[in-house]
Chain A
Amino acid sequence: MKHVGLFRKIINFYIDGFKSMTLGKPLWIMIILKVLLLIVLMKVLFFPDFLGNKFDNDDERSSYVRHSLGGEFHN
């Protein structure tokens, strides 16, 4: 008997499961649309990591936040 590895068993478990889903199609369309629109598109186009993109290291980030918290609102 051919030995089937645990990893292969797990993969087959998921493949069989997805194949036998009766409600699969509309749900998967919904999930894929959500992931594409909300996570990929919105994140890339509209939600940059403000401090992460603007500064190279934590020292610069901390200086910026220090300035904006200590200076901008409290002159």
Chain B
Amino acid sequence: MNDLLSVVDWSRAQFALTAMYHWLFVPLTLGLSVIVGIMETIYLRTGDKKWLNTTKFWMSIFGINFAVGVATGIILEFEFGTNWSNYSWFVGDIFGAPLAIEGLLAFFMEATFIAIMFFGWNKVSKRAHLAATWLTALGTTLSAFWILVANAWMQYPVGMEFDPAQMRNVMDNFWAVAFSPMAINKFFHTIFSGWALGGIMVMGICGWFLLKKSNIDMAIRSTKVGIWVAFVGMLLTMAFGHGSAQLVSKTQPMKLAAMEGLYNGEQGTEFVAFGLLNSQDNIKNGENPFIFKIGIPNMLSFLCNSDFNSFVPGINDIISGKSYDSDNSEISSVSYSERIKIGKTAHEALREYDKAFVAHDEAAMAQANNKLKENFKYFGYGYLDSPEEAVPNVPITFYSFHLMIILGCYLFALIILTGFFVYRTDVMQKSKLMQWLVILAIPVVWVCSESGWVTAEVGRQPWIIQDLMPAKAAISAITAGQVQTTFWIFAVLFTGFLIAEVGILINFIRKQSKLNIDNL
């Protein structure tokens, strides 16, 4: 059992490492593709060659990021096949279908239009080139959509039925999978966060140009586009983030409770804006979950249920199946002990189905299948040894969520401030403080973006598929040593690649800063 848990932990660590490395490139591709599209559109409308050169500069940054991001996502698929084979089988075509569509889109749309975008400047008309640029942006966005559909299904499994004969889930409603509310919210939240990241990256690089007093006109011109994309992106990220959180409160209440460090719910629950958690041992002994906190009264209730006095269940309430409606009358949901019993009944039904299958007893098979269907909703709980096993790592979920919120608010304020200085004054050209703030915003926005994913993925543990399969059941029969070896190889390779990639990018920007980009 210890080795099993060790394999699970190492496999999760490896997947997290790979996904976080992959996520360094994806949001910048999403954001910069739109920014480049806007700049080229301005060029086509104005005919001003300065906008053409500005577009080409940012297109080169986009190209570098796109090229160095190659092959980072496919490793995740290797890991599914090797480390998570039970999961890969169990999800059947539900996971495979969106990934296959993504693969086709990525190959045909992105490969075709990116080639025209980079190689077609003097070979196709201006309008055809602009169309290729926007279609590249559309292609990258659609690719992200299908990946997020797959991820959303793991958090909110819909549109399928479990087939005990194949021991896998079968998709019975493609549209329910593709357009589940979780997928839609996750998609927009992620896409717009990519816009915000792209815009802030543009602001930051321009800040460096301003600091070096190089290409000032180009930097100010680009900053203005970057600010608008970052502003709209951040605003919509917040809006869809709120939508996602509301959905999480209904479909993954345990995750929401962990995000807020909420152990015991109440009517009119406060939103903890900032806090320091007590140690887990002290919390188990009944001490206050927080050493220190700044809370906004009733806000979590409002954010979750649009009602300042509504009840938001905490971790202990969810485990015991206790909740209250808006009239303060107690309503019971299914306690985790009960869910474990139901899950074990589902497993029992599966074994009865197998026995009936071997005996060719179709009536018994149908009976077992019905029993399985009735209890399948909590199938995954049958693998848990105790209700407490269904609680995610609260400190990681809490701190990553709050880091995302705090940094997101800081960046939003910085975007507005930069916008004011760029449009109303010449402070951006003169103030080294502002220039450094936007330069330093580059690593900050990446930390913010990665924190969002840490919240989403750590907060749903132990589930690889919400309520249906915990990570420990999804793992392959491999040894922890095997996974540790590849984890460290990846850690070394990713670090080396990242240093080289950032080096290529910085080198390119430095070289360009010595030129007059507007007059190229």
Residues in A lying within 8 Å of B, measured CB to CB: 13-14, 16-18, 20-21, 23, 26-27, 30-31, 33-35, 37-39, 42-43, 46-52, 58, 61-63, 65-66, 68-70, 73-74
Q: For residues 273 through 309 of chain B, which have their beta carbon under 8 Å from a beta carbon of chain A?
A: none
Contact B89 A38 (CB under 8 A): no
Min distance, Cβ A33 to any Cβ of chain B, angstroms? 8
Specify which chain A residues have a CB less than 8 angstroms from the CB of B88 in the assembled complex: 51
How far does the alpha carbon of A14 sit from the alpha carbon of B118 in the complex, in Å? 10
Given A27-B64, A74-B344, A17 contacting B119 (CB threshold 8 A)? yes
Q: Secondary structure of the B side of the interface? A: helix
Contact B476 A13 (CB under 8 A): no
Number of interface residues of B (CB under 8 A): 52
B17 at the interface (CB under 8 A from A): no
Given A47-B79, A70-B347, A30 contacting B89 (CB threshold 8 A)? no
Stretch binding the partner chain, chosen from B176-184, B328-336, B424-432, B485-493:
B485-493
Contact B82 A65 (CB under 8 A): no
B104 at the interface (CB under 8 A from A): no
Min distance, Cβ B82 to any Cβ of chain A, angstroms? 5
Q: Secondary structure of the A side of the interface? A: helix
Residues in B lying within 8 Å of A, measured CB to CB: 60, 63-64, 67-68, 70-72, 74-75, 78-79, 81-83, 85-86, 88-90, 115, 118-120, 123, 166-168, 344, 347, 350-351, 354, 382-383, 472-473, 476-478, 482, 485-486, 489-490, 493, 497, 500-501, 504, 507-508
Min distance, Cβ A58 to any Cβ of chain B, angstroms? 8
Min distance, Cβ B137 to any Cβ of chain A, angstroms? 19
Contact B78 A34 (CB under 8 A): no
Min distance, Cβ A69 to any Cβ of chain B, angstroms? 6
Contact B486 A47 (CB under 8 A): yes
Contact B71 A62 (CB under 8 A): no
A-B contact list, 25 entries, CB within 8 Å: A13-B120, A14-B115, A16-B123, A17-B115, A17-B118, A18-B119, A20-B119, A27-B63, A27-B64, A30-B497, A31-B67, A34-B68, A37-B493, A38-B72, A42-B490, A48-B81, A49-B81, A49-B85, A50-B478, A62-B166, A62-B167, A66-B354, A68-B477, A70-B350, A73-B383
Contact of A47 among B78, B123, B168, B507 (CB under 8 A): B78
| Chain A residue, CB-CB nearest to B500 | A30
Specify which chain A residues have a CB less than 8 angstroms from the CB of B67 in the assembled complex: 27, 30-31
Specify which chain B residues have a CB less than 8 angstroms from the CB of A30 in the assembled complex: 67-68, 497, 500-501, 504
Min distance, Cβ A50 to any Cβ of chain B, angstroms? 4
Contact A68 B504 (CB under 8 A): no
Contact A42 B70 (CB under 8 A): no
How far does the alpha carbon of A50 sit from the alpha carbon of B7 in the complex, in Å? 15
Given A26-B504, A30-B497, A74 contacting B489 (CB threshold 8 A)? no
**Beyond A23-B504, A46-B482, A70-B350: 17 further Cβ-contacts under 8 Å?**
A13-B123, A16-B119, A16-B123, A26-B504, A30-B67, A37-B493, A42-B78, A46-B486, A49-B81, A49-B85, A50-B81, A50-B83, A62-B168, A65-B168, A68-B477, A69-B90, A69-B167
